[in-house]
Amino acid sequence: MFQELIKKSYNLDLVYLLKMIDEQYDVQPLYEDSMKIAALYQSLIRKGLITKDEEKLTTVGKSLLEYVRNSEDNKIVKRKPITTDFEEWWKNYPTTDTWSLDRHKFKGTRALRRGKEECRRKFKAIIEEGDYTAQQLTKALKYEVDVKVQRSIKERKNIMSFMQGSITYLNQRTFEAFIELMDQEKDNPPESASGPTDI
């Protein structure tokens, strides 16, 4: 067990501090009074074991504690999002607010899909928090686009122009509201517009 921890650059001080955070111990006074503990705390954030803002364990942090509890495992499993999950989400994000569906065509004025690497980092951080899966984020995005397309057709104006840029969408966690809406509408799904949508 210790060899595997050393291979991954985890020391017991780091694991102990992570365990304290997991048990909701207030570690702020500790790292404010000690440079060593402050450095350990920053290591937890840098290594992706806790979230930056909320002192909450990520999936990687939970996996590390599970490994320490269950020392029969030979390796520490790092549950990181697969690049293809982000690529799937990225592919589904509208490039601009211009779109067409059958005979309906709406002209837009701006690019929506920008900052791919910044989006990739934010997407990864959201997934590692463990509250949402990559599939949920992609479904929420598709759902939002579908709702905006339907409203555009119904109201005869381009509602896609209200779609946020990709990095703003992730930073402001807009997907959360649409995940909730999808959960509420599971039993009564909205009718989808027929035909392919080119966005």
* Residues 20-71: tens digit of each pLDDT: 888 888 888 888 888 888 888 888 888 888 887 777 888 888 888 888 888 6
Q: Is the pTM of this model over 0.75?
A: no
**Which of 29, 26, 123, 22 is closest to 81 using CA atoms?**
123
**Strands across the sheet containing 197-198:** 104-106, 99-101, 197-198
Top pLDDT among 192 and 164 is at: 164
pLDDT band, very low/low/confident/very high, at 173 (cuts 50, 70, 90): very high
Residue type, 91: K
pLDDT digits (tens, 9 = 90+) for 103-132: 777 777 788 889 999 999 999 889 888 888
Reply yes or no on whether the pLDDT at 193 is more than 90.
Answer: no
